Amino acid sequence: MESTVPGQNRTGAAVTPDQIDRMLEAVRELSPQVPISTLAIDVERQSYIVEAESLGSVPQPAPRAKGAPKKAKAKVKGASPSLLMDKLGERIAFERTGSRLYDALISKFLALSNAGEDVLPPADSLRLDREALAQRELPKGEAALDTLKRIRAEELRHLKLLADTVSGLGGDPTAQTPCADVIAAASAGLVQVLTDPRTTLAQCLNVILTVELTDNAGWELLSELTENAGQGALVEQFSAALADERQHLVIVRGWLESLLNNQAGTPAV
């Protein structure tokens, strides 16, 4: 664990000005600048896009097991019930990955705090956007580790809620839907940053901020889709999840600001 400090970064052109001059001399001689055209790339990419097949399909409703009692399936209104299933699948995937990302963040936090670094203040001691917390107040005096564990537990609770919802609609919560696949591909870099032993807590919180912003927008969109699909009973539960996520976002942003403003030069930053 090391702090991020000025050092021998060798990546920039300014580090080796004489060599860069030689490189530019070679460019002038062997590939001199002409107006940039990526038209050939665009044409090729578009030809693939036009011809492409989809990533895959939304799973068919799960067949009832032999001998199992008939359950009343909730009816989904709207033009595309499969779209709702796909987006529910996406949320399942992201909450599942989110739980694992918090596991990684907790490891990073514990490594620092076990080394005697007092890095994250209790969330309720931060200057936070209180308006955004109107629907979900912060627990008083909750230690940072407990807050991290609580957020992780809430991500998991959201996952279970979504899995039950999909089952209730006759779907299979274990299936990977196309949107679930896409969000998992997009999340691959998030996992890389959180699990790299060299990244600092602040760098990780920066990535978790992306997660929480996506979570917030994702739940907002899902609540709207659910309402439009005539699943009013779910709207209340989804709104509660959104309130949780709004609180997560405010806390994460507050911690990140606190680290960047107060702890520069420490191993946490």
Binding site for another protein (CB under 8 A): 7-13, 15-16, 19-20, 22-24, 26-27, 29-41, 44-45, 48, 185, 192, 196, 198
Beta carbon nearer to another protein, 107 or 237: 107
The distance of closest approach from Cβ of residue 112 to another protein in the complex, given in angstroms and rounded to an integer, is 18
The distance of closest approach from Cβ of residue 2 to another protein in the complex, given in angstroms and rounded to an integer, is 11
CB atoms within 10 A of CB 28: 10
The distance of closest approach from Cβ of residue 30 to another protein in the complex, given in angstroms and rounded to an integer, is 4
Q: Are 230 and 102 in contact (CB under 8 A)?
A: no
Instruction: Tell me how many degrees the CA angle 121-102-203 measures, rounded to the nearest 5.
Output: 65
Helical segments of 115-177, H only: 144-168
Beta carbon nearer to another protein, 200 or 226: 200
The distance of closest approach from Cβ of residue 28 to another protein in the complex, given in angstroms and rounded to an integer, is 9
The distance of closest approach from Cβ of residue 217 to another protein in the complex, given in angstroms and rounded to an integer, is 23
Q: Are 15 and 9 in contact (CB under 8 A)?
A: yes
Beta carbon nearer to another protein, 9 or 261: 9
Beta carbon nearer to another protein, 38 or 261: 38
Q: Can you give 47-96 as a three-state secondary structure string? A: HHHHHCCCCCCCCCCCCCCCCCCCCCCCCCCCCCHHHHHHHHHHHHHHHH
Beta carbon nearer to another protein, 24 or 145: 24
Host H or E run for residue 244 = helix 232-262
Give the burial class of 162: count Cβ atoms within 10 A of its Cβ; 0-12 exposed, 13-18 middle, 19 or more buried.
buried
